[in-house]
Chains A and B, each alone.
With several copies, the nearest count.
Chain A
Amino acid sequence: MELELRVNNRNAIVKEIKREGNILTLAVDEVEYKVDIVKVNKEEFSILYKGKSFSIEVIESKEPKHYNVNTLYNRFDIEVIDNESRYRQSRMQSKHILNDNTIRSPMPGKVVKIFVKQGDIVEAGQPLIVLSAMKMESEFKAGLRGIVKEIPVKEGDTVENNQLLVVIEDLKEK
């Protein structure tokens, strides 16, 4: 078995070499590991590697095929890369280019105030929308000069993490 995993901007190949009971030999990229691994409950593993003991939580994230992995000292966000996620990734990257033109909510929250309406011309740095979460208000500003193309939310709406708030069409692009 072979699996591609992504962690901290690194794409690593984990390849199984041999298995005997709990003893698993595998290669992470070019490095070979022989570990004693047991699953102690639904989300926790105990790994012994050269005598060192690692107690590791591997928890499914809300995002598909993402895992939050906690060791004693570090936290990792690890993604399983398969054909489906490769496709998603390439799609996301092409989206990323447009990021300056769109504002997405970085957390769940509530729309408190919208300063602009569709068709408005906005300057870079102009406040567009105010979000409130947990008693803290955050103001979001235009990243460039442009025309407000879309505002798919209204004041009072509750928004999810990463939800689209405002789309601006770059005037220079025209």
Chain B
Amino acid sequence: MEQKPIKKVLVANRGEIAIRIMRSCREMGIETVAVFSDADRTAMHVRYSNEAYNIGAAPSSESYLNIDKIIATAKSSGADAIHPGYGFLSENAAFARRCREEGLQFIGPSPESIEMMGDKISARKKMIAAGVPVVPGTTEKVTNEAEAIKYIKEIGVPVMIKASAGGGGKGMRLVKKESQIASSLRAARSEAKTAFGDDALYIEKYVDSPHHIEFQILSDRYGNTVHLFERECSVQRRHQKVVEETPSPIITPEIRSRMGAYAVAAANAANYEGAGTIEFIMDEQLNFYFLEMNTRLQVEHPITERVVGVDLVKEQIRIAEGNKLPFTQDDLKQSGHAIECRIYAEDTDNNFMPNPGTITHITEPYGFGIRCDGYVYEGYTIPIYYDSLISKLIVWGRTRDAAIERMRRALYEYKITGVKTTIRFLERIMDTPDFRKGEYNTHFIEKNSASLLAEGIYDKKNEDIALIATYAQYMSRIEESKKTNAATTEKKETNWKRQLRKFTSRI
């Protein structure tokens, strides 16, 4: 067993995930290096790290995706490892390969594993070979339209056309009728070409009303793999996850253990090392199929941490140091129930338009069973360039009902002023009968959109009380500014005054 302790980690990311990684590093006594773009000088990850270096302009293509600059910063700062977080370069095989070439430990799988699982078609093939069930569909890239039409007629509509190099819903088309085949193929191909520079497609049988269920796995470099059970991620809006929970309210222990075994088989087939996620879709009859593997940490990893009791970032680092997994499958148990709500800076009344801006006030929830992974602070201006996720609220309860009760309480306590957020929308999800009963699939938000997006019912009494408080605030503000006036009647030398103004307008 070859072990090489990591002493300093460059975190090639920003936002909540950068802080989250740095917290585990700090607990392990590992130094952290932050990198930041011009738009992020005041960001929390810069303030939380031990060291911080500018790596370029605001657009991520010129900073957080700038491989050369990140590698150079890691080397000049003396970091011995790089944690990519999620998004940005986390699933970029070229980046992982560069790290290896430069003698930097990439905290994640090998470039070969990333490549194999990154390409949907090669991943499908690998899974079929490993005996993992996949959705019926093509096993080769489809570039010929006639062929594609023939294939779709064979397996029958509905089908999903997807970009082979794809992700994030781009280059995807659902075909419900045979008459739509040709136009959908053309649209998907053109989108795929634009988004990924590759117009290869593949075709899958469409699973109607599916559940999205994923399994967390951990593999060390000695061939040991465990799964840390499932996450139910079916509350989605436009293929974006909104609420996740574990355990899944629908699967049985028997199905869980079968899915877990497949997840482990999938990771082994990919010759995997580190933390990864096997995504499945599941139909109404609880048939499940491999969908894809995410070769990185997921946004929703904290619910697994809470229910299984494992710090996934620490395990990632220990695996990257060359350690064996400290537990076997039998050591891992699910205990209680965890839910995560993603809080986005979005205007829910205006088609979820992103709402960057300055945080004027923030009150975060506390108490038993509450975890809040955020990165914004009072006075911080959220830049326009990056993701609109500002915080993740994770709660735990002994039972699913207890977790929902606690989430409602935590969302009530949570107040962010200055930007519009999805907090009220999430509260309504918690109140929706389908969610309460655990009877929902990926159509949940669409199905319940009327009540989820209904206008708020204002309590007239509350409105009057709010007016009274505003009255008092207005009066007290006037008084304060008068006091300040009275207090600052000192006379200062003019030139000195001018100097000061210059200085303070810059800081």
Residues of A within 8 A of B (CB): 1, 3, 5, 7-8, 10, 12, 14, 16, 19, 21-22, 24, 26, 28, 31, 33, 35-49, 51-62, 67-76, 78, 80, 106-110, 132-136, 138, 158, 161
Contacts and interface: CB of A to CB of B under 8 A. Distances in A.
A40 B506 contact: no
Given A52-B51, A109-B384, A71 B357 contact: no
Q: Among B34, B345, B506, find the residue whose CB has the most chain A CB atoms closer than 10 A.
A: B506
A35 B385 CA distance: 26
A28 B462 contact: no
B387 A59 contact: no
B386 A38 contact: no
Contacts of A133: 353-354, 356, 384, 388
Closest 9 CB pairs of A and B: A41-B379, A134-B354, A55-B47, A58-B473, A134-B388, A53-B52, A133-B354, A56-B469, A69-B466
15 contacts: A5-B471, A10-B463, A33-B465, A37-B472, A44-B377, A45-B472, A48-B46, A51-B53, A53-B52, A57-B361, A67-B474, A71-B466, A110-B384, A134-B386, A135-B388
Given A46-B47, A52-B51, A71-B466, A41 B380 contact: yes
Given A41-B379, A69-B469, A78-B467, 20 more contacts: A12-B464, A37-B468, A39-B473, A39-B476, A44-B379, A47-B465, A53-B47, A57-B363, A59-B417, A60-B360, A62-B357, A71-B466, A74-B462, A78-B466, A106-B353, A109-B354, A110-B384, A134-B354, A134-B388, A135-B388
Contacts of A56: 465-466, 469
A108 B41 contact: no
A46 B44 CA distance: 9
Contact of A51 (B48, B77, B462, B467): B77
A78 B465 CA distance: 12
A3 B473 CA distance: 12
A79 B456 CA distance: 19
A108 B357 CA distance: 7
Q: Among B48, B361, B467, find the residue whose CB has the most chain A CB atoms closer than 10 A.
A: B467
Contacts of B285: none
A70 B470 CA distance: 10
- The majority secondary structure among interface residues of chain B is mixed
Contacts of A62: 357-358, 360, 418
B350 A5 contact: no
A82 B502 CA distance: 22
Nearest to A55: B47
Chain B interface size, as a band, is 35 or more
Interface string B450-492: 0000001011001111111111111111000000000000000
A54 B507 CA distance: 15
Contact of A53 (B34, B387, B417, B458): B34
Given A53-B46, A73-B462, A40 B475 contact: no
A1 B499 contact: yes
Contact of A5 (B47, B353, B467): B467
A70 B465 contact: no
Contacts of A69: 466, 469-470
B366 interface: no
A42 B471 contact: no
A172 to B, nearest CB: 28
Contacts of B418: 59, 62, 68
A76 B466 contact: yes
Nearest to B32: A53
Nearest to B345: A134
B19 to A, nearest CB: 12
Contacts of B356: 107-109, 133-134
B368 interface: no
Contact of A67 (B350, B354, B473, B499): B473
Contacts of A26: 468, 471
Contacts of B474: 3, 67, 80
B408 to A, nearest CB: 11
A173 to B, nearest CB: 28
B412 A73 contact: yes
Nearest to B49: A53
A45 B379 contact: no
B465 A8 contact: no
A128 B465 CA distance: 44
Given A41-B380, A74-B459, A107-B353, A28 B388 contact: no
A33 B507 contact: no
Contacts of A54: 462, 465, 469
B436 interface: no
B327 interface: no
B82 to A, nearest CB: 16
A97 to B, nearest CB: 22
B140 interface: no
A31 B378 contact: no
Contact of B507 (A37, A68, A135): A37
Contacts of A49: 465
A130 to B, nearest CB: 13
A43 B470 CA distance: 10
Given A62-B358, A73-B462, A80-B474, A46 B467 contact: no
Contact of B354 (A39, A47, A73, A136): A136
Given A14-B467, A14-B468, A58-B469, A46 B357 contact: no
B415 interface: yes
A94 B418 CA distance: 27
A74 B466 contact: yes
Contacts of B354: 107, 109, 133-136
Contacts of B180: none
B229 to A, nearest CB: 30
Given A72-B412, A133-B356, A38 B466 contact: no
Contacts of A134: 345, 354, 356, 384-388
Contact of A135 (B355, B386, B412): B386
B459 A68 contact: no
A107 B47 CA distance: 27
